Structure 1
Amino acid sequence: MNDVQEHHEKEIQGFAAHELSRLSKEWWCFLVIGILLVIGGIASIAYPWFTSLGVVVFLGAVLIISGVTTIISAFWAREWSAFMLQILVGIVYLVTGFVITDAPLTSLALLTLMLAGFFVIAGGFRIVTALIVQYPQWGWHLFNGVVTSMLGLIIFRSFRQLPEEPSGVLWIIGLLVGLELLFNGWTWIMLALVMRKLPVPKSGQA
């Protein structure tokens, strides 16, 4: 039984190595993707306000497209019990998308408030979990929860400045998007550099 399992693991490892070696030919594609993501992340961090608005407008456009496609698909398959439900869902998507794109600043404020609430709830959950369970390295989890909750409370407090300072803290979404793009791009770059060092299979090998 152990011999069969060992043979199976060797086959899996061999398959993975073979696939990676094939991908090593296209390592530069992953490098280009990573560089573009890093550039996009840096631009988003440098101009988070515009990125935040862009995210909201993009969300509204996606909802509009989803609403239209949902309504069309419902009429294509109208002979089913969920026809009216699909129509209602499509209308909700469509109306929500138009509302978001028509008032992006208000929508951005609401989205930022939702994000702040999520931070407070998620941080509180991490704090309670860390204090009750006290698993290995629970102190870092506790610290993470405190920081996350504090960030949410700071965002809530900053909303008081919105009438005097419209930009307020609404740039936080753009900053988070920029950080995500930056770290994701750096991951792709590191993967490309590793794949570059892998052996390239010969033309006769499949």
Structure 2
Amino acid sequence: MTLPDDITRLQTKMTAAVRDHWKAFLIEGIVLVILGLAAIIVPPLASLAITIFLGWMFLVSGIIQFILTFSARGLPGFTWSLMSAILAAAAGIILLLWPVQGTLSLTIVVGVYFTMEGVATIMYALAHRKQLSERWGWLIAAGVVDLVMAAIIVTGLPGSAAWAIGLLVGINLVFGGTSLISMALAARSR
């Protein structure tokens, strides 16, 4: 069997699976769009909810890692794994006890991320402008958008902490949900 035959068979199976379950993708897409619109309409509430959710995720993962680390304490790296578990649990507790301050911290991290991502995208575009022909301009534009978003978020601190995380997650949910809806509708019509 050749590789193209394997790829063709995999694509056929994936197409059939999406077609068979198009309603599930449609429902998931609709739910994501609704949640995304809610986050865009009320970004402070969404930002706070995301911070609390992350707090629980860190706390639960830290506790699980702590238990698993002690169950394998004879393995190399025990101390580092234990420290990682304690840090995760501590981060979760801090986010749960002080969610507003946690939202501010997360917003700073997002601002720094957008800055670094913008610079990296622009540098990538410049380094590959000959290979990417006319497409490198789109990368420059994406990098500039990242830098503008970072500037808006960082210069607006601490006020931007109330809306930035919720708005960005809301936009992401709307786009993700819309793509699932379009995929489901395309699969239904086949």
TM-score tier, shorter chain, comes to 0.7 to 0.9
Deviations 1:2-21 (A, max 9, x none): xx75xx63464245324523
Kindly indicate whether residue 96 of structure 2 is the aligned counterpart of residue 98 of structure 1: no
| Matched residues, number | 186
Question: Structure 2-normalised TM-score?
Answer: 0.86
What's the counterpart of residue 117 of structure 2? Answer: 122
**Structure 1 residues 22 and 81 mapped into 2: Cα distance closer, same or farther (>3 Å)?**
closer
Judging changes above 3 Å, is the alpha-carbon distance between structure 1 residues 17 and 116 closer, same or farther for their aligned structure 2 residues? same
Distance 1:22 1:11 in 2: 16
Out of 108, 112, 116, the residue aligned to residue 113 of structure 1 is 108
- Residue 141 of structure 1 corresponds to 139
Unpaired stretches in structure 2, ≥5 consecutive residues: none
What whole-Å deviation, never above 9, does each CA across 1:141-191 have from its counterpart, x for those lacking one?
A: 2222222212212222212xx4xxxxx112111111111111111111111
1:1-206 equivalences under 5 Å are: 5=2, 9-10=4-5, 12-135=7-130, 136-137=133-134, 138-159=136-157, 162=158, 168-170=159-161, 171-198=163-190
State how far apart, in whole Å, the 2-side matches of 1:22 and 1:152 are.
40
**Deviation of the 1:45 alpha carbon:** 0.8
Q: CA RMSD in A?
A: 2.1
Q: Which of these two proteins has the greater Rg computed from alpha carbons? A: 1
**1:124 deviation in Å?**
2.3
Residue 84 of structure 1: how far off its partner (Å): 2.6
Q: Distance in 2 between matches of 1:19 and 1:150?
A: 39
Query: For residue 36 of structure 2, what is the amino acid of its counterpart?
Result: G
Q: Percent identity?
A: 31
Compute the displacement of 1:78 (Å): 2.4
Aligned equivalents of 1:89 and 1:36: distance in 2? 35
CA contact (8 A) 2:55 2:96 kept: yes
For 1:189, give the aligned amino acid: I
Q: Which has the higher helix share?
A: 2
User: 1:133, CA displacement in angstroms?
Assistant: 4.0
